[in-house]
Amino acid sequence: MNTLCSYYSGDIKDSIPKGRTTIARVLYGIKNPKPHILHQLELLQAETDAAKRTKLKHGLFQFTPAVTIQDGMGRKYANIESFSGYLPLDFDKLESQEMAEELKFALFESCQYIAASWLSSSKKGVRCLVKIRQVDSVQAFQLHFNAIQNELGDIKGFDTAPKNAVLPLFISHDPDILIRPDEETDTYTKTFTPYRKAPKPFIPNIKSVKSERYLNRITPMIIKINDNGHPQLRAAASVAGGFVGAGYITFDEAISHLENLIRSNAYLSQFGEGKTNSYIKTASEMIKKGANSPIYD
């Protein structure tokens, strides 16, 4: 566990790594946090107000167990320098600490490829590290995640968010963290490629010359999406909303155009109808929000 990962300050909005550390040191820090970190975690445990809990959580030290990020660069796929050989798992929002404790032990005992298992900062979630073969791309990393999801995805609390290789985990405190010696840990080598439906062809709607001009400015923002789709879609829909607010296009034209683009984009349409409808709902919400800030030529 002497491979490196990046760590970050206690500011969720600061995506620039503050340095690098080993996986082993991170796990030791979970078992024995420094006094000021332990104090933060105790405050989080005692807080009952959801908003205040979120604020406290977002002030915790974070790390990206799957990757190291280039020095001085933001936490993005394009800035990955290397992969650690570990894949994080997250089981969240369990009913009680007792349930989380049981799951922590069950996963560790039944999956020899799990190198470490511990409780989350809320004590109602479980975090694990899976030892995988050394990969050199996000695509290869996600193929392993797909396979893990096939095996463990039906377990209550399984979260798909760690499929994002640059997702940070918050530090937590678990004096009973389970850590398996490297020589006793199996390497998880399974991969899985989900079946992808062929995306529907993009069929432009008949619109006025004026509206077409503004819709065409949105089109490239969606066409270029091939990963990390949600924030890029939100940005494009917000721009569309700005044009709606300025009176250049109607809401119906904007949402119809974006829905067509979403359904014809290979990445956005690969996760099934439920996820596609979720993307369309997000687009609708961001168009309405963007309309409050008109974009004028």
What is d(CA 244, CA 246) in angstroms, rounded to the nearest whole number?
5
| Residue whose structure tokens are 């399984």 | 158
The answer to pTM > 0.75 is no
- Residue 125: CA count within 13 A, CB half-sphere: 19
**206 — pLDDT class (breaks 50, 70, 90):** very low
Closest listed residue to residue 64, CA positions, set 182, 202, 170: 170
Residue-wise pLDDT tens digits, 268-297? 888 778 888 889 999 999 999 999 998 987
Q: Is the pLDDT of residue 205 over 60?
A: no
| Residue whose structure tokens are 């990757």 | 67
Residue-wise pLDDT tens digits, 72-81? 999 999 999 9
Residue-wise pLDDT tens digits, 31-86? 998 888 888 888 877 777 877 877 777 778 889 999 999 999 999 999 999 999 99
What is d(CA 297, CA 277) in angstroms, rounded to the nearest whole number?
31
